[in-house]
Structure 1
Amino acid sequence: MPASLCHALGEYIDVLLDAVCAVDRDGHFQFLSSGAERIFGYPASEMLGRSMLDFIHPDDIPKTLAAAQAINTGQIKTDFENRYLRKDGQIVHLLWSARWSADKQQRVAVARDITRLKLAETRQHALYAISEAAFAAEDLQSLYRQLLQIVQQLLPIEACVIARRTVGGSINLAYQYLPLGDTQSAVEATDLCYLLLQDTQKSPPPLIRKRADHSLWLGVQLISHTNVLGAMVVLVSPQTALSHHADADLLDFVAQHMAVAIERKELLARLQHAALYDELTGLPKRELFYDRCRQAMAQAQRHQCQLAICYLDLDGFKPVNDQFGHSVGDDLLQQVAQRLIQNVRQADTVARFGGDEFVILLSEIDSAEQAGVAAEKIRQSFSTPFQLQSHSFTITASIGLVCADATTLSSEPLLAMADQAMYRAKQLGGNRCIQY
């Protein structure tokens, strides 16, 4: 080829954004275009004669050697990816096209920097995973665990602490993933969370702290829109130390979307709690009670036992409200709820159906006589006066009781029968239990 043409081609190659490289059979650089310095960060003079293994990310050396061996046998590679370490320590993702030149006894290759593309793909994948976790997680702790797994796919995390800011301004360690017995990491992570949450700066930069063993603490605030929910601190292994700024930026990006997922999960939990639990007493509402009934009936069929429903109405509750006001009445209902809980088993369910009506599900009972004893215990518990503000009240209850065996198919008829029995107790003067 004429020298003039070689010179012209050389000038064209030097303006390419990609890097054109040539290495010998053993992988020592013999030619580098000007684009190589843009990609690798090294002047060509610092790479020529050196092995490519000096610059490849350690985790990618085995697959790179395998690809090089295949190219040496005549295979052409057009879509091989690996990572190099730039002179400034940053990781660069490369897409290679390479072939073996028999006459020159060289591998000739073109490298394209796809770091931005890989980062975009990584972030997009993380966003999808976070979104799925926000909907799939059963509760907040499950969400924290799934979020940690997502971050672990991005960074080699050895420890993680998520702290939440409380209403009083302190912090609560909501989630901890720490090596067993590593109390030092727990202390360091907690201190960094306090430091992050004391920072009044809006959207502060990620916090980076290097340890003596060259591992790194990376910390970011969990910010949902303009609300600072808390902070997350992770410990990454030493091999990522050279790229800690990129890691911190990635963690900061992911953390903001994690904060949105956490806030959404908490909102859904509050809405679900409001739908299923009575705001005043904290007892289950009607829908949750029905669900508990269905479970108890299925259990009764499996174990060939019975269940019972007590329908309870307070005697003379309205005069308390009329004379002393709704505040005292609400306090009374709250104390009634607590007394009912204290006088049933943990496996039983106490629900409020509205007003001064309470329904109790007695699961897994052996006989109607056992249910009657349980209902009578509940009724007698009202003989102890209720202390409300500066007043003492003695109030009684009318109870309707119905028992069911394993053949019962629906809770609604049982509730209707228990309700009828309760009204019969009312008609007879109250303060008694009537079994349907």
Structure 2
Amino acid sequence: MTTLNETHDPALRSWVASANATGTDFPIQNLPFAVFRRKGTPESFRGGVAIGDQILDLAAALGGGIFTGESQIAAQAATQDNLNALMALGPTAWSSLRLALSRALRYGTSAQTALTACLIAQAEAEYALPARIGDYTDFYIGIHHATSVGKLFRPDSPLLPNYKWVPIGYHGRRSSIVVSGTPVRRPTGQTKGSAERPDFGPSQKLDYELELGFLIGQGNAMGEPIAIEDAEANLFGVALFNDWSARDIQPWEYQPLGPFLAKNFASTLAPWVVTMEALAPFRAPLIREAGDPEPLPYLDSPGNRAGGALDIQLEVCLQTARMREVGQDAVRLSSSNAREAAYWTPAQLVAHHTVGGCNLEPGDLLGSGTLSGPAPNQTGSMLELTQGGKQAVALPGGEMRAFLADGDTLTLRGWCEREGARRIGFGECVGTILPALAR
């Protein structure tokens, strides 16, 4: 687990003025990675680092003399059209690059002259997925989500007997993961109607899922599990993630093999990946309720108990097509915190995923599952917020929503703040619903 070092010093300031603004997602203490290019140009996508409202173009910065040795190797790896090569280098290289960037972007450094020309405004950029995602697994670690959804279908026993023993997950569809800002087409499929013959058509219960995505670094060889003590060394970073869901398609199709069309039509990943090292000031102990079973040994370690959880504040905002037309801002639907929402830690997900011999590879994505809090205003999905569609949400201007309508735009945000540390953020994860195609 990463310890605090000079890059986390809350007193650090940058010569990029916007990085010093109160409330910015991207102060010098953050330095997240993305893959970008200038909008409307034929430029190649390449790696960049957020600093305030700017992006430091790593390909351009290589000529500035700020990288040497291992940091230069890491910076070079990040100039490709995905970050997989950087992810494969491991935590020592990542840390070396972070330190070099921190020192070069601090106020008063001699690197300012060389690097000023390497900055590109985020407002002028477009993004690709941060990694070439070889495989994607979605977990179900949000215990409050699992409980509230379970109550809708099994009021007397909402959690299945295995929930507190094993991190539940399933393999998702990698090819339909899209970067934030990509429109999402309403899916079509079978639903269980009132008659013997099922209905077919566009989903009428389209939903979002507030999640975090964990991106794998080095990974492991097939047949060689990753011990929980080594798990975080194989995690590159964290991004906001919306795993869209068709709630009416899923109940009809998911038995006995699990989600299919209800989950494979689109998942949205934010462009900015906040590194595990940047999150060092925001770790929290793993807390279980009295009477919960102790994790099996392969899922347990003193370090994971002491600081395996992540203290990340999350929120979901909705703007309808009508709200956009009249210039009305998005309204917040809910907020939650990953620390109290998640029953399992990222390290436990890696340890469990590999314990049977599965090989994880650089750029693989692990979704957290919906991260809801215990209160009604902390839900991470419309399914919970509206009690399965029974209690529609009233929006400004008189609109109502039980589930998502065409033209709705969902925005996920996340940030970390704690006394004695500089606030850092995750940017936004945005998607707008398009109508289903005619059949």
TM-score bucket of the superposed structures, by smaller chain = under 0.3
Q: Higher relative contact order at CA 8 Å, sep ≥6: structure 1 or structure 2?
A: 2
Larger radius of gyration: 1
TM-score by length of 2: 0.20
Structure that is richer in helix per residue? 1
TM-score (norm 1): 0.21
